[in-house]
Structure formats: C-alpha cells, structure tokens
Amino acid sequence: MRPGTPIPLTLEEHRELAAEIRTARAHLRQLCDLVVAVYGPNNQAAFTFLKAAEDLDRLSQDLQAQAGLDLPGYPIDNLYS
C-alpha cells in the first residue's frame, strides 16, 4: 500500500541508487556491444538491446531530475551520469 505522501529518497539513497544504475548501464552497454558485434545492428536482439540501453539512459535522466526535486540545494549535478 502506498503512503498518502511520498517520502523522497535521502542523499545517501540517491548516491547508492546512482551507483547501481551506473553499474547496470555499463554492463548493459557491454552486452549490447557484444550482441551487435555478433549479430549485427539489424538483428532483432541487437535492436532490443539498443532500445533497453536507451531506456536505461532515460531512466538515469529521470532519476537525476527526481533527485533535484528530492534534494533542493544539494550538490547533485551529474549524480546519475
């Protein structure tokens, strides 16, 4: 059940989440590069990997924006980059 008022993440929680997201992005990019190298860029699996990598990049941007809302005044520039 969701609380009536959202409780934002703390700075430490955003830092931990950002580290996990950066690691996931790096691993996904490596796997994507492998699949594209093996099957070529026109392969369906390669296409899906590319889309997944783009979506994770978009998630990072969204989380960066959310951190700005959660932590006004804190130095969070490029936290999720």
Residue ranges per domain, the chain?
Answer: 11-70
Confidence of residue 13 (pLDDT cuts 50, 70, 90): very high
Could you tell me the pTM of the whole model? 0.84
Residues 45 and 39: beta-carbon distance below 8 Å: yes
| Position 3 pLDDT exceeds 90 | no
pLDDT tens readout for residues 50-74: 999 999 999 999 999 999 999 999 9
